[in-house]
Chain A
Amino acid sequence: MIKRYLTCCLVILFSVANVEASQCTYQDKDLTDSLSKLDNVISVASEKQVPHPTTEKALKHVVIFKGGDVAIIEQKNCVIFNLSINMLASEDTSEEVIVKRLSDLIQVTPVISKYFENTNFNNDINTNIKKGNFNLTQNNVFELNLTDEIPGGNVETEMAFVYTPNSSMYALYSRSIAFYLGAGMHN
């Protein structure tokens, strides 16, 4: 009797999970392995967030680099690709290293192989920072709208790069970088 009950529960559970998965065009991907292999990564942790009634489900990875810099990668993929990366960098980390690390993180996510296979993010982000006469040591916030600057394959995209300095004497990190990439929206 208990066996039958358990089997029934499992069948229902799998059906529900499958329905949820099949409703999504794009799936979140566990990036633990590929993130661990990146240069200077010393630790990767992940958490799958259960959706609240008003929020989408999300998969987060927290990456710690040698030297203590931290990156948080959030995937909210379903009807569209939603990729957010936040990086916290100390003042000892150079601009080149920050952009290189960010590009490496972007490169392992599923949206890249789908729509940005031939894009060199390291090169393109650096070019756009220079084009706007910005740098990653300046004291004020800047935002790059990369939507038209880094176009994806046959899909509607939205892309942004935001630099925020933190000059507080109590802050562990002097700068934060936010990167967002959405792809596959309706027009």
Chain B
Amino acid sequence: MHLAIERSVGNKGLNKRADVELIQTLLNCYIKQFTPSLLLVADGKCGRKTIDAITIYQESVLKLKRPDGRVDPNGKTFNTLTMAYKTEDQKKIAEHQNRLMSWDKLFTYLSPKIKAQGALIYRMDNYIDFKVTYKANIPKSEQLVSEYSKKVIKMALKDAGMPSAVITSTLRSPKEQASIMYKNAKKDYQAQVDMYARTGDQVLRVYKDNSAKDKDTVISLMEQKIIDLLKTNKRTSKHCVTADSYKKLNIIDIGVFSTKSVCGKEFHKTKFTNALKHLEKSGHIEKYIDETKKTNACWHFEIIPNKKSTA
């Protein structure tokens, strides 16, 4: 039994009734130790008192300098609130939520260890609310991200309290890679040389040596160079791999701007970044590279399909 909330609770939260009730119950277990007379009514309604209680909890327990009065699914506040309880205790809280246990009885069972910290709790049984889509320009043949990887992305979305993510890059064929490099080199050759390592520079040299030729010929020559390099296991870009290798290792970019446009006010760049970092630590993500501040503005990560259980 793992406690989980589906959506955010508190200030500007989505405040689903069941979620609010759980947070009120958890907060009461904490409040009860210090000011039993000020317990919240666990009615599933999020008003000023509940938000204030979250804020006080964030200030006094989490020591946040700028408490936001909000609990996000698997965020720091929720993590601390639930990690104070053992699985056995969580069962009791769930019973209370289901009206199978009274407050008095619940309190006699529970004695939360406020300082307890630990790994995030992920619940994978309900992801209907979260959407992972491809950017419109990604052809069907390149929409190869496995269901497992999508689930992992949804875990991050849930953690960040965001509803959607847009995949902006997956597999890239040598021809596409050559076209991108040609286009960029035409704009500013030296900037591209600066940006690529040795393998990329080899491809750019083909552009330079053949710049007098027509566009299609140059792209074709660059494509051939990329293929030759791939044969010696040298990749111009991490995305530029064969479909077979892609299926073994999903290489994914989630675009910052595309995701922001679908999430609207629920977009939280830092929270999503932190969620991906947590998933890297937990082994769900093989490698994570923060490219949100680079010109391509994306979260880049690699996932080995079915590596870990997501149940």
Contact of A145 among B197, B200, B233, B239 (CB under 8 A): B233
The interface on chain A, measured as residues whose beta carbon lies within 8 A of the other chain's beta carbons, has a size of 22
Complex contacts, B243 vs chain A, CB 8 Å: none
Contact of B291 among A145, A158, A187 (CB under 8 A): A187
Mark interface residues in B276-311 (1 if CB within 8 Å of A CB, else 0).
Answer: 000010000001111100111010100000000000
- In the complex where A154-B289, A154-B290, A187-B253 touch, is A80 in contact with B296 (Cβ < 8 A)? no
A186 touches B193 (CB 8 A): no
A155 to B238, alpha carbons, bound, how many Å? 11
A187 touches B234 (CB 8 A): no
Distance (whole angstroms) from the CB of A24 to the closest CB of chain B: 9
B194 touches A56 (CB 8 A): yes
Residues of A within 8 A of B (CB): 54, 56, 78-80, 82, 143, 145, 147, 151, 154-158, 160, 180, 182-183, 185-187
A157 to B196, alpha carbons, bound, how many Å? 10
- In the complex where A160-B198, A185-B196, A187-B169 touch, is A155 in contact with B289 (Cβ < 8 A)? yes
Residues of B within 8 A of A (CB): 169, 190-191, 193-200, 232-235, 237-239, 251, 253, 280, 287-291, 294-296, 298, 300
Distance (whole angstroms) from the CB of A78 to the closest CB of chain B: 6
Q: A155-B289, A180-B197, A183-B197 are in contact. List 10 more A-B contacts (CB 8 A).
A: A79-B191, A82-B197, A154-B289, A158-B199, A160-B198, A182-B198, A185-B196, A185-B197, A187-B169, A187-B298
A78 to B295, alpha carbons, bound, how many Å? 15
Distance (whole angstroms) from the CB of B270 to the closest CB of chain A: 15
A80 to B193, alpha carbons, bound, how many Å? 10
**Most chain A CB neighbours (cut-off 10 Å) among B191, B232, B280, B300:** B300
Contact of A80 among B194, B233, B235, B251 (CB under 8 A): B194
A79 touches B195 (CB 8 A): yes
Q: Which residue of chain A has its CB nearest to the CB of B296?
A: A186
Complex contacts, B288 vs chain A, CB 8 Å: 154
A164 to B191, alpha carbons, bound, how many Å? 31
Q: Which residue of chain A has its CB nearest to the CB of B300?
A: A187
A25 to B295, alpha carbons, bound, how many Å? 13
Complex contacts, A180 vs chain B, CB 8 Å: 197-198
Distance (whole angstroms) from the CB of B115 to the closest CB of chain A: 29
Q: Which residue of chain A has its CB nearest to the CB of B189?
A: A54
Contact of A187 among B194, B198, B232, B237 (CB under 8 A): B237
